[in-house]
Structure 1
């Protein structure tokens, strides 16, 4: 993502630079795999997904739009996943591909195009005229017409690169295979701005998993030259855990066998990694050789270190615990307030002496039903200068806006949820990612498409004045604190 700090005028409005793509390596998807269509009204989801919502919310947070998933992504198996933003567009990953939305009118989003290119999770990031897609599932080949194969017969998984200069007709231009695939990736601009790096997180090696033998204690770093993206390639695979990482407790605590997610703060040459059994702080001054400078564990409450978010000043990190892998009901009294939660750490010291000091946990202060998958998941900062405020997805626990300015006493200031998918059994759904972008909150609901919400609260009003040209949440850029 372009590293931008907002000016004293409080408004940023920069156009992303156009990129000239030098050619095509992988054949573009055929018309059978790639579809473009305009949409002016929500479509009906399949009958497997109930259409009636039972909205519950605080008075300061309200839904202003919902655009349901449309064919070919209108099945219950086509999970909506992560979101990236650029100008008037939101790019939403899906287990079956990705969707580009026009959100210039947040209360009336429309679909610009849909690209059918299966391969979970299809996490997405954007930079200029390029879009990057993570595939973390064994496929028969690297095309968008590939089929799933058993891990013992893996042919391809990794990163796909698309040219999105024409938003109505994205073109697939390059693939890069990575060890153990790409569960998530983090975009880190090169210091000379001529390239971007993708820090690829993956995990779960086994002796029978082709291309992913144990040990797997590394990440893959893909370098993408912006003027010749078809030259993208893996340039490094740094080992972050030479001692093997946390061994875990079978059935209770995950062992460290790679990383799940990394969040970078390029302006500070810093990154935070959520690596299954370990939380780490990385020095990324050398983009191709990140160094672990601090590592922490929570063997009492954390089961799976899932993701990380810095505060704006880079003095805190919020780590999340995805207890149950996102498919379990953990926002209930039986689980309690400290498991499946966020953990807030202050960063103390300087340089290589920086340390992560635990301060408190945060979990939504509501008990959800045992039929609702609910746990801490993806969120972003709400850009309020001088305060640390975050919006976050909790699957069927909905969306929570909370303040962690006081690291020891985080408090919720707003929430919104639509109720369970089913009253009689647990079904996977809810908000996968909930992010603040240019005045509104956008949520990718696994089953029910794109939600847009409006937060009206005196504690956050100034955030509506801060505009950015591009947003990949795992690439934090910072904003001016007055």
Structure 2
């Protein structure tokens, strides 16, 4: 979640969750401060500190294309050369502030989500109250053909900004002509001129590939015409849009993590996604993100209990809150199977909750790597939906200064796991285990995690 203008509302809603985090973890389970610990099958390959231009702001999401990784940051983004993961290095950094800089890449284009009101759409903008009509939020588009010198080419303003974004390729002949961007945003207010309730919609940006500078909002479909889950006790925030959408374009479906609701979309009409299934969960405080398995017969939803700022990986909160929920898809409907949460208790100074992850492409298995903020990253198997289990991990002990942070996103790409840490920078990790070794034969030439493709499919 964004830690900017939404932080005030989220902090108030999260107070109850913070109060739950009072039981101390067992001291023997907590690594020494600032110390890296791993399971025996996991090794820490490399850490690259944040480049100087954006060292003072936090890392967020990651996208991949060819031999490069693109790491979002509240201050902009950085490009890393990962041709040799053991000697990976930063190529360039673009200073362009505006949280939370969720990033995706397509061809020579990089898209960055901006969910904090700015004085204008430029990279020299400053923060501005959302109550001012001239404030800007939305999506910035960069030309990344020259990795050493990315070029800002276009912005598109969207209602309530862009907390996250999801690239959706066109269908048929349209695939070579346009790419679409599903923009997720939420938390409207009657005092925000560009973000008034009800806000039960998403924004869809159409990007002509031959003329990306003409990109514009082409549709704003209302996905909750009758309103979403707004009254369930324990919700962090009532549904007023979606937090994140993951599309499986080749199957014309998408899964939405929509604050108080988990939903399945039919996206056969790219401009008019329609909810076909919907579920809620009394244990979920905030539906944060979604991941299909490769066969699209399951969805893993994450619950960001406490908005990412609470110490929820302890005995008091327990295994079923701030966790993943695994659903099988049966006859087009969600069937709940189980929860998964890391089995290692964290200290009370460590913010920890389910966050961003991706599949590890082992054919015939359902295996993920996932970030847990200060809980590090976990590799886990959900092939048996009712009995998921962790098979490897990487984490750091509590920060010696008592502050929080941790790993925002952890994704598998061509043999290695890449993780964006708030403070520590860019981590490269490797797992060697019989359960994951099958992924070595699967090579990808790009990865935008919220734009899923079946293993080995697709090039752009």
Shift of 1:156: 0.6
Does residue 437 of structure 1 match 2:437? Answer: no
- Report the equivalent of 2:88: 109
Report the structure, 1 or 2, having the larger helix content: 2
Q: Distance in 2 between matches of 1:356 and 1:120?
A: 33
Q: Distance in 2 between matches of 1:421 and 1:447?
A: 10
- Report the equivalent of 1:156: 136
Q: Distance in 2 between matches of 1:258 and 1:374?
A: 24
Shift of 1:253: 4.1
- Report the equivalent of 1:170: 150
Does residue 386 of structure 1 match 2:368? Answer: no
Shift of 1:325: 0.6
Q: Distance in 2 between matches of 1:309 and 1:250?
A: 25
Shift of 1:254: 2.5
Does residue 359 of structure 1 match 2:359? Answer: no
- Cα deviation code 1:393-449 (max 9, x no counterpart): 0000001000000000001100110111136x4x23111000000110000001010
- Report the equivalent of 2:455: 479
- Cα deviation code 1:315-341 (max 9, x no counterpart): 000000000111110001111000000
The answer to whether the 8 A contact 1:371-1:422 is kept is no
* Match for residue 459 of structure 1 among 419, 435, 439: 435
Query: Where in structure 2 are there 5+ consecutive unaligned residues?
Result: 1-31
The answer to whether the 8 A contact 1:248-1:256 is kept is no
Aligned to 1:444, what secondary structure does the other structure show? strand
Q: Distance in 1 between matches of 2:287 and 2:300?
A: 11
* Match for residue 348 of structure 2 among 354, 357, 370: 370
The answer to whether the 8 A contact 1:69-1:449 is kept is yes
Q: Distance in 1 between matches of 2:283 and 2:444?
A: 36
Q: Distance in 2 between matches of 1:327 and 1:422?
A: 17
- Cα deviation code 1:76-115 (max 9, x no counterpart): xx01000000011000000000000001111121111100
Shift of 1:249: 4.7
* Match for residue 414 of structure 1 among 385, 392, 410: 392
The answer to whether the 8 A contact 2:245-2:256 is kept is yes
Q: Distance in 1 between matches of 2:291 and 2:400?
A: 32
**CA RMSD in angstroms, aligned pairs only:** 1.4
- Report the equivalent of 2:101: 122
Aligned to 1:240, what secondary structure does the other structure show? coil
TM-score scaled by length of structure 1: 0.86
Shift of 1:251: 6.1
- Report the equivalent of 1:283: 266
The answer to whether the 8 A contact 2:60-2:71 is kept is yes
TM-score scaled by length of structure 2: 0.90
- Report the equivalent of 1:469: 445
Higher mean C-alpha displacement, 153-162 vs 366-375: 153-162
Q: Distance in 2 between matches of 1:52 and 1:304?
A: 29
- Report the equivalent of 1:208: 191
Shift of 1:70: 2.1
Q: Distance in 1 between matches of 2:439 and 2:93?
A: 31
* Number of positions where the alignment pairs a residue of Structure 1 with one of Structure 2: 422
